[in-house]
């Protein structure tokens, strides 16, 4: 199987890799002119790239016509995950990318134990983790990992952009299978809580903004388990884990 690389520089039958990926291909993999690799663009298309030139931290290609990646779910799911403590967000990001999330948006809410600290620097690491996971599992694009929203009100303000917003609430809600029965939403947001869950006021705020409360069964899931269970369940019910 050809090596997989992600690039934003693709179009007009040509493409380029820069920086660490170019160095890896040229000096670690010892690629030669005429070798082929699999290139994935920001449009979730896959291209066969044939190496035409090397430069300092640069590899240039001619590329085939792009084909849609079969690894990208038809249902575009954004995961809003309350910020957990002790580095658990890295685990959530890595595994949600493997499962098929299109975007991960951390946020701070009333009962979060973690507090904002050097989030710009952390976000660079989180994006690298997402890129590594996307490459490992054969995704057609690198899912976005955004800077955390400062509070739950900022999360609720984004709900209107989605066809369906599922609020996974420890207070219970409608069965997920019932909410998705016969439905084929294109853009879905999943919202999961922190170690302390959500306050009643936050739950009411989510409902007022258009979210639907959903339960995750009779067992209490950890804050790093719930988002992955929710994501797997939604992608299964929408036909993307079959």
Please report which helix (H) or strand (E) contains residue 126, including its range: helix 119-137
SS3 of 90-103: the string is: HHHHHHHHHHCCCE
Q: What does pTM read for this prediction?
A: 0.90
Rounded CA-CA distance 109/150 in Å is: 8
* Res 29: pLDDT: 92
Q: How many residues does the chain have?
A: 242
Q: Which residues contact 114 (CB under 8 A, 6 or more apart)?
A: 83, 84, 85, 108, 194
Rounded CA-CA distance 13/155 in Å is: 40
229-233: average pLDDT = 96
Domains and CATH numbers, the chain: 4-68 (2.40.240.20), 76-237 (3.40.1280.10)
Segment 51-86, tens digit of pLDDT: 999 999 999 999 999 999 999 999 999 999 999 998
Please report which helix (H) or strand (E) contains residue 135, including its range: helix 119-137
Cα Dmax for the chain:
61
* Res 170: pLDDT: 87
* Res 101: pLDDT: 97
Contact in structure between 114 and 108 (CB atoms under 8 Å)? yes
Segment 102-111, tens digit of pLDDT: 999 999 999 9
How confident is the prediction for the chain on average, in pLDDT?
Answer: 93
């Amino acid at each position: 199987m050809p090596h997989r690389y992600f690039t934003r520089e693709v179009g007009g039958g040509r493409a380029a890799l820069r920086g660490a990926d170019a160095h890896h291909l040229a000096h670690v993999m010892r690629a030669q002119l005429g070798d082929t690799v699999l290139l994935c663009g920001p449009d979730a298309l896959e291209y066969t790239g044939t190496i035409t030139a090397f430069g300092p931290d640069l590899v240039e290609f001619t590329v085939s016509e792009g084909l849609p990646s079969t690894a990208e779910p038809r249902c575009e799911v954004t995961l809003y995950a309350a910020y957990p403590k002790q580095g658990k967000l890295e685990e959530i990001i890595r595994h949600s990318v493997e499962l098929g999330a299109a975007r991960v948006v951390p946020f701070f809410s009333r009962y979060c134990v973690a507090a904002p600290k050097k989030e710009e620097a952390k976000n660079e690491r989180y994006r690298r983790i997402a890129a590594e996971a996307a490459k490992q599992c054969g995704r057609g694009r690198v899912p976005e990992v955004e800077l955390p929203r400062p509070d739950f009100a900022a999360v609720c303000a984004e709900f209107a952009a989605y066809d369906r917003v599922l609020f996974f609430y420890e207070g219970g809600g409608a069965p997920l299978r019932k909410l998705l029965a016969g439905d084929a939403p294109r853009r879905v947001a999943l919202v999961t809580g922190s170690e302390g869950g959500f306050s009643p006021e936050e739950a009411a705020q989510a409902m007022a903004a258009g979210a639907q409360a959903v339960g995750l069964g009779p067992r209490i899931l950890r804050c790093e388990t719930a988002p992955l269970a929710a994501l797997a369940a939604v992608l299964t019910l929408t036909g993307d884990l079959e």
